[in-house]
Amino acid sequence: MHHLPLKLAALLASAAAVSCQNYAQLAKQLSNTAQIYQPGTAAFNAAVLRWSNYSTPVANVVVVPGTENDVVQTVKFANQHSLPFLATNGVHGSITTLGKMTRGIEIHMSQLNSIVVAQDGSTATIGGGVMSKNLTDALWAVGKQTVTGTCECVGYMGPGLGGGHGWLQGRHGLVSDQYVSLNVVLANGSLITVNEHSELFWAMKGAGHNFGIVTSVTSQIYDIQHPNYAMETLIFSGSKVEAVYALANQQWLTNGATMPVDLINWSYWYFDPTTDAEKPVIAMYLIQEGVNKVDAAHTNPFLKLGPISTESVSGTYRDLAAWTGISLSDTPCQKTGNANPRFPIYLKSYNPIAQGLVYELFREATTAANSPFGHALFMFEGYSQQGVKAIGQDATAFAYREDNLLVAPLLTYAPNGPATDAIASALGNTIRQILFQGSGETSLNTYVNYAYGDETPAAWYGSDQWRQNRLSALKEDFDPAGQFSFYAPIRS
């Protein structure tokens, strides 16, 4: 009589986990270049490590497709076994909703890394696992370029599916504005081509993580017009915070004016006790295209504010990542084991008073004895916007073409239990709330790709009701069971 409970136990076990035998079955359906990594192996451990070690997705197996059809087979297999799945590439996604994945298959895209430039030189077809720097380098070698994310170690697809900001957006628009057509594996395992004639094309450009796995994309590319760049770094004392941002506003960000197309301003705040032992510094980067020295007309007003130090560099487009601390060898490209939450907000211009208030909170957080946030970084990204604004507000799912600045505190800390997580979340949200109130805007606009995870779909995809309706309807059509809902779900 005791064989009944045993049978039951076996049944329960097979319901809880897919056995190695089943993965052997999957392996038979995959090409001979595909890989399957089982837990406990070095390859598995390396593949599941992420940039931000907080609210991370958990997988029972990692599949590395070798072909587009391998992605199809893996999704179908996951569906047969009722397993969740998630595409990963640069592993820089950090939104807390990813933590809702507690089991299933990670589909690591790294082998789908081909880059093919069309004969006429106007487009390139780019694998869904291509990384930003690999694309930049491959195109550069043939005298071409396109809009990619700025950081060398993020994927090409990940940023673009949420819109995608990059150095060249002032010229050509967002990363996703370059898409001509995408090959997409849908939730049910169907492979479709999405282009301007498809319903889904609009949604892939800003809310794309919600709809499928992109195996490849054909994007517009351009002849390199302005290879050379210069950057001026001005380090200011934090005591000048209001003056610095009042000046940054003055010429370009008020009265409907925009940044010159060849100019990008970023600034970072961070605590560097070797420069100022008391409080965080303001590092202002003026980046200009097509010159070997940033025009005095741009630097002089800032020099008059009396920076602690200045430095000029010149080089090419490909040096920008290293100059701004986001090249392959910099900290943002290492997996440090830190939690890396950001609390982004888009702004039209700076409110110098609000900048002063959040500086005070940031100063406390980075300098207080025993604070976990000593290495936090506050980022202010002011790209040129001509290419972004040249495209209609409602042309794509990316909702924030009218905004000019992407602002976010990055509250890096060593994970230390839920109490510290809660402090990070409270601080980040307080900072964001002050900036929001100071902006006078009526809706909180956030970049989905920097989002913390506690924002609403309205904050990720735009508060206009028609946007929410359109996205919800597409979600119902293409992903009714919400299988692509680990990354900033349109519907929770």
Ligand X SMILES: Cc1cc2nc3c(=O)[nH]c(=O)nc-3n(C[C@H](O)[C@H](O)[C@H](O)COP(=O)(O)OP(=O)(O)OC[C@H]3O[C@@H](n4cnc5c(N)ncnc54)[C@H](O)[C@@H]3O)c2cc1C
d(CA 38, CA 250): 56
Stretch that binds ligand NAG, among 36-44, 101-109, 248-256, 447-455 (CB under 6 A): 248-256
Give how far Cα 468 sits from Cα of 150, 164, 285, 443, 465, Å: 29, 20, 36, 14, 5
Query: Which x/- pattern over 100-119 shows residues binding ligand NAG (rule: CB under 6 A)?
Result: -------------x------
Whether the Cβ atoms of residue 261 and residue 170 lie closer than 8 Å to each other: yes
Could you say whether residue 436 binds ligand X (CB under 6 A)? Answer: no
Could you say whether residue 351 binds ligand NAG (CB under 6 A)? Answer: no
Tell me the β-bridge partners of 287: 231, 264
Could you say whether residue 248 binds ligand NAG (CB under 6 A)? Answer: yes
Is residue 1 classed exposed, middle or buried when 0-12, 13-18 and 19+ CB atoms within 10 A define those classes? exposed
- In this chain, which of 65, 84, 90, 438 binds ligand X, going by CB under 6 A? 90
Of all residues in the shown chain, the one whose CB is closest to ligand X is 158
Helix, strand, or coil here: 183? strand
Could you say whether residue 33 binds ligand NAG (CB under 6 A)? Answer: no
Is residue 19 classed exposed, middle or buried when 0-12, 13-18 and 19+ CB atoms within 10 A define those classes? exposed
Question: Could you tell me which residues come within 8 angstroms of residue 154 by beta carbon, excluding any fewer than 6 positions away?
Answer: 90, 92, 131, 132
Two tokens, residue 83: 């397993």
CB closer to ligand NAG, 23 vs 380: 380
The option from ligand X, ligand NAG, none interacting with 337 (CB < 5 to 8 A, set by class) reads: ligand NAG
Two tokens, residue 152: 């060398």
Stretch that binds ligand NAG, among 31-39, 127-135, 176-184, 210-218 (CB under 6 A): 127-135
The option from ligand NAG, ligand X, none interacting with 190 (CB < 5 to 8 A, set by class) reads: ligand NAG
User: What is the dihedral sign for C-alpha 173, 174, 177, 179?
Assistant: positive
- In this chain, which of 61, 78, 86, 377 binds ligand X, going by CB under 6 A? 86
Shortest distance (Å) from residue 411 CB to ligand NAG: 15
Could you say whether residue 259 binds ligand X (CB under 6 A)? Answer: no
- The total of other beta-carbon atoms located within 10 Å of residue 325's CB is 18
Could you say whether residue 184 binds ligand NAG (CB under 6 A)? Answer: no
Could you say whether residue 227 binds ligand NAG (CB under 6 A)? Answer: no
Nearest CA to 323 among 445, 442, 229, 422? 229
Q: Which stretches within 269-395 are classed as H helix?
A: 296-303, 320-323, 352-367, 386-389
The option from ligand X, ligand NAG, none interacting with 251 (CB < 5 to 8 A, set by class) reads: ligand NAG
Could you say whether residue 252 binds ligand NAG (CB under 6 A)? Answer: yes
Specify the amino acid at residue 21.
Q
Could you say whether residue 84 binds ligand X (CB under 6 A)? Answer: no
First to last CA, the chain: 46
The option from ligand X, ligand NAG, none interacting with 326 (CB < 5 to 8 A, set by class) reads: ligand X
- In this chain, which of 259, 333, 407, 444 binds ligand NAG, going by CB under 6 A? 259
d(CA 324, CA 150): 9
Could you say whether residue 444 binds ligand X (CB under 6 A)? Answer: no
SS3 content of the chain, % helix, strand, coil (to 5): 35, 20, 45
Query: Which x/- pattern over 368-397 shows residues binding ligand NAG (rule: CB under 6 A)?
Result: --------------x---------------
CB closer to ligand X, 214 vs 357: 214
Is residue 249 classed exposed, middle or buried when 0-12, 13-18 and 19+ CB atoms within 10 A define those classes? middle
Whether the Cβ atoms of residue 258 and residue 403 lie closer than 8 Å to each other: no
The option from ligand NAG, ligand X, none interacting with 341 (CB < 5 to 8 A, set by class) reads: none
Whether the Cβ atoms of residue 223 and residue 215 lie closer than 8 Å to each other: no
Stretch that binds ligand X, among 206-214, 317-325, 354-362, 411-419 (CB under 6 A): 206-214
Shortest distance (Å) from residue 1 CB to ligand X: 49
- In this chain, which of 51, 179, 245, 461 binds ligand X, going by CB under 6 A? 51
Which residues are near ligand NAG by CB under 6 A?
49, 53, 113, 131, 133-134, 186, 188, 190, 248-253, 259, 265, 286, 298, 301, 337, 382, 405, 415, 477-478
Instruction: List residues binding ligand X (CB under 6 A).
Output: 51, 86-93, 109, 128, 149-151, 154-155, 157-159, 161-162, 164-166, 209, 213-214, 326, 332, 449-450, 487
